[in-house]
Amino acid sequence: MRIWFILFALVALSFNAMAQKPDFGTTRSAKDSLNRVRDSISSKPFVPKASTTKVYHPDSLHIPHKAFVRSAMVPGWGQVYNHKWWKVPLIYGGFASFGYYLVINNQDYHDYVTEAKIRRDGGVSKGKYASYSGTYQDFFNAAAGSQRNFQLCIFGILGVWGINCVDAYIDAKFIHSYSVDNNLTFKVTPTMLNQPVYALNNNGYIPGVKLTLGF
């Protein structure tokens, strides 16, 4: 009986072994190979994006004095030397504005003075102020106001010229001596501070914190 049981067990194991199919690898078609090649071509390696922030390092060959002198000779020339082209229209826009009001106030001054003299002498006004009912004193006051505005326009032109020179010098100084970027550093370190003379005690030093900001 035991022999028949062992024989039956061996037959059952043989059937189980025959039911399992050997794996000889999956057969791949030519289309699959083509897809693999296409995927490998279309896929790109990962490249980290570089920072687009420009870093301007100091340029010892850039001369601030030269920028100042050029702007003093020809307004805007120093800005061009500093590669700040966008400031040139602003400079000449300021000159144009003050120059326009300079001419207007000068013309008004002469018209007011002429009209004031006519009314003082009792003559007949035929100018653009003939319809005005003011006295000659009113026109003299108006002429004084126009003269004051005329002088302010002259100071305005000189001011634009001076600001143009100072601006060119400061920009050139930064280009010559400092880096203009976003790389700021902030450092906190412990330190020892000297006490004032009137506050000295047994310990001549007191602990403190030192803050350093680097541009």
Tell me which H or E stretch contains 174: helix 136-177
d(CA 198, CA 33): 89
Burial (Cβ within 10 Å: 0-12, 13-18, ≥19) of residue 50? exposed
> Mean pLDDT score of the chain, rounded to an integer?
77
Output the pTM of the full model: 0.57
pLDDT at 3: 47
Q: Which of 164, 18, 201 is nearest to 84 (CA)?
A: 164
Q: How many CB atoms within 10 Å of residue 175? A: 24
pLDDT at 28: 53
Q: Which residue has the higher pLDDT, 161 or 3?
A: 161
d(CA 160, CA 181): 28
pLDDT at 70: 96
d(CA 194, CA 196): 7
pLDDT at 142: 93
17 has a pLDDT exceeding 50: no
Task: Decide if 30 is inside a domain.
Answer: no
Range of the domain at 155: 64-179
197 has a pLDDT exceeding 90: no
Q: Provide the token pair at 112.
A: 């007011």
Task: Decide if 44 is inside a domain.
Answer: no
18 has a pLDDT exceeding 50: no
Q: How many domains does the structure of the chain reveal? A: 1
Find tokens 């025959």 and name the residue.
18
Q: How many CB atoms within 10 Å of residue 2? A: 6
Task: Decide if 75 is inside a domain.
Answer: yes
Task: Decide if 118 is inside a domain.
Answer: yes
d(CA 15, CA 64): 97
Which residues are CB-contacts of 40 (< 8 A; sequence separation ≥ 6)? none
Task: Decide if 68 is inside a domain.
Answer: yes
Q: How confident is the model at residue 15 (pLDDT cuts 50, 70, 90)?
A: very low
First to last CA, the chain: 98
> What Å distances lie between residue 75 and 9, 51, 135, CA to CA?
109, 36, 44
Task: Decide if 115 is inside a domain.
Answer: yes
Beta strands in the chain (DSSP E): 185-194, 205-214
Q: Which residue has the higher pLDDT, 197 or 72?
A: 72
Task: Decide if 145 is inside a domain.
Answer: yes
Find tokens 């000889």 and name the residue.
24
pLDDT one-digit tens code per residue, 58-115: 777 889 999 999 999 999 999 999 999 999 999 999 999 999 999 999 999 999 999 9
Lowest mean pLDDT among 43-52, 177-186, 197-206: 43-52
Task: Decide if 38 is inside a domain.
Answer: no
Q: Which residue has the higher pLDDT, 200 or 121?
A: 121
pLDDT at 190: 80
pLDDT at 125: 77
User: To 5 degrees, how large is the angle CA 7–CA 11–CA 17?
Assistant: 145
Find tokens 């680097």 and name the residue.
214
